[in-house]
Structure 1
Amino acid sequence: MSRLEEKTVKSQTIYEGNIIRVQLDQVILPDGGTSQREIVKHPGAVAVVAITDEKKLVLVRQFRKPLEKTILEIPAGKLEPGEDPRACAFRELEEETGYQAEEMTPLVSFYTSPGFADEIMHLYVANGLRKGEAQPDQDEFVELVELTLPEAWQRIADGEICDAKTVAAVYYWQLKEIQK
């Protein structure tokens, strides 16, 4: 065991839902002490940076119950069991926005909240967009929104764009524009 690792001595599932599982782990700390860790197990997700030919970022407006407010986000969704992240990115973009992409280029994968969850998010850039008809899931209510880069920055300042994946997408877009 490295000097920073914790050793799990007992693990118990304390909740199992449709999206997440929560487990309680008993651990031995690096100094020999013991503690408990509450861990959210998640199947992973994808998110898509899609910029139209008119130089607008494709977003969805959606109510988020944990926040008790409606926010703007890039299209995203949970991986199904055994699903390839790239295939999921194509699917989520079309379901939520109606846009189809010719190609999905991987940008980065990151852990969303490693202090308590194992969720990994795969961020893709959609290329060759074609407008189509959105087909959100039955329990998913979203509105398509397209913003220019200055409008996106303003929505960040206003707090309407406030989740990490979407803020990262706007930074990526800004960097891409600077490098042109």
Structure 2
Amino acid sequence: MEEAGLGGGQWRLAATFFSTPGFCDELVRVYIAEGVEETQRAPQEDEEIELVRVPVAELGSLLPQIEDAKTLAGLLLYLRER
């Protein structure tokens, strides 16, 4: 993910789903990556990305604060696999 400045490691597909079925055909693929390394970031001019590291043990308590459905789905899939 060059926008976030992360690369390498092991990536596996966790799920594929439609973001808004019945409204549009946007297909979302959620990957779980482990062992990634920091690389040089290459965000687009209009992108503001802030990386926040959170210990896995704290993820569950943060879920109620997350309003983005794709992010919630990804985190729940990750926690389910642990």
Matched, 1:162 2:67: yes
Unaligned runs of 5+ in 1: 1-92
User: 2:45 aligns to what?
Assistant: 138
Unaligned segments of structure 2, at least 5 residues: none
Determine helix, strand or coil for the equivalent of 2:32. Answer: strand
Deviation at residue 136 of structure 1 after TM alignment: 0.9
Matched, 1:175 2:64: no
Alpha-carbon distance between aligned partners in 2 of 1:141 and 1:106, rounded to the nearest angstrom? 26
Deviation string, structure 1 residues 44-82 (Cα, Å, up to 9, x no partner): xxxxxxxxxxxxxxxxxxxxxxxxxxxxxxxxxxxxxxx
Q: Match of 2:79, as an amino acid?
A: Q
By relative contact order (CA 8 Å, sep 6+), the higher-ranking structure is 2
Pair member with larger Rg: 1
How large is the RMSD of aligned CA atoms in angstroms?
1.7
Q: 1:61-109: per-residue Cα shift (whole Å, max 9, x none)? A: xxxxxxxxxxxxxxxxxxxxxxxxxxxxxxxx222x2111234222221
Considering fraction of residues, name the structure with more strand: 1
- TM-score, normalised by the number of residues in structure 1: 0.41
What TM-score, normalized by structure 2, do the two folds share?
A: 0.80
**Which residue does 1:94 correspond to in 2?**
2
The residue aligned with 2:28 is 121
| Same amino acid, percent of matched pairs | 30
Runs of 4+ in 1 over 3 A off after TM superposition: none
Greater share of residues in helix:
2
CA shift at 1:115, angstroms?
2.3
